[in-house]
Amino acid sequence: MRILPCSLVAVVLATACATHRSPETAAAGTWAIAIHGGAGTLGRDAPAAELQAYRDALQQVLELGRARLANGDAALDVCEAVVRLLEDDPKFNAGKGAACNEAGGHELDAAVMDGSTMGYGAVAGVRTVKNPVSLARLVMERTRHVLLMGDGAERFADTVAVERVPNEWFTTPQRRAMLDEVLRERAAAVPGAGKGTVGCVALDQAGRLAAATSTGGLTGKRYGRIGDSPIAGAGTYANAWAAISGTGTGEQFLRHTVARTIAARMEFAGEDLATAARAVVLHTLNPDDGGVVAVDAAGNAFAVYNSDGMYRALADSRGRHEVAIFER
Ligand code: ASP
């Protein structure tokens, strides 16, 4: 083997270092959080009290996340806690109140990612796990795997004492009515019908980024269909640059690996969070596909969507505190 002259090695190393980017990190004490409750919102003409109930619920989870991050809690713990609360709230399409599949049952998907370790855990198609996001976290922490599905995930749930409920427990009259409507209108393919998901991304005071997403999937989906939420880099992703959680037509998020593409544009093309997220959501995805919430290592929280609205809530240590549905 030929030995490279030292000067050539030095040039190669210098070039590699010059082109390697590092994320811009935040000053000590900085934190940020962004939460979504799905891109499939009620219409703008929905009764004001119903829309207000969503704003109140978002306000409540934002307050919990804000307080915990200000207290120095870990981003991953905060994301899991926020998503659990949204899973327990029947208004959102995750956990109790999850969307119905075409047979009227529920198959739930969830994932967590710890950007500080690249740890990832997910479950897909679970039918009896009350809080899928917590099972996803246990997949990350207690197995050598990343994704467990269906029966296997439920067997694992029993070994880690995760609460199970009958499949019908997830059904609400509203979700059943939505299924009936989607089945009736299927030929007409109502735009935006049946979407929704919950997610949370956060940067904690130690500079760790994390993401969590949980969903009942699309209303009227085929039995066995798995969406983007549990798939690393599609609906959920976190690394040293950014944490991203998506909501919308999962097939599109899968095809375009939406969450990972946003983070990769930041790392390899030097884009800031807003530019990268806008490029993917507004230019790669099709109109009405959905949106994302994201935070970066510098403490910026951002939301972008191409649907009519997206339930969302954002806060940071600089005093930002926003709850919104349709407002851009
Ligand atoms: N992305 C979810 C899925 O396709 C649904 C949604 O966010 O509306 O399963």
pTM here?
0.93
pLDDT at 16 over 60: no
Q: 235 CB less than 6 Å from ligand 1?
A: yes
Ligand 1 site, residue 215, Cβ cutoff 6 A? yes
Q: Is 197 a catalytic residue?
A: yes
Q: What is the pLDDT of residues 84-139, one digit of tens each?
A: 999 999 999 999 999 999 999 999 999 999 999 999 999 999 999 999 999 999 99
Q: Does 38 contact ligand 1 (Cβ within 6 A)?
A: yes
Beta strands in the chain (DSSP E): 32-38, 108-114, 119-126, 147-149, 198-203, 209-215, 236-238, 242-248, 290-296, 301-305, 311-316, 321-324
Q: 248 CA distance to ligand 1 centroid (A)? A: 5
Choosing from 92, 215, 258, 285 the residue with most ligand 1 atoms within 8 A of its CB, the one to mutate for a pocket test is 215
Q: Is 125 in the pocket of ligand 1 (CB under 6 A)?
A: no
Three-class SS of residue 154?
helix
| Structural domains of the chain ordered from first start | 26-324 (3.60.20.30)
- Substitution site in 109, 228, 258 for ligand 1 pocket (most atoms within 8 Å of beta carbon): 228
* Per-residue pLDDT band at 8 (split at 50, 70, 90): low
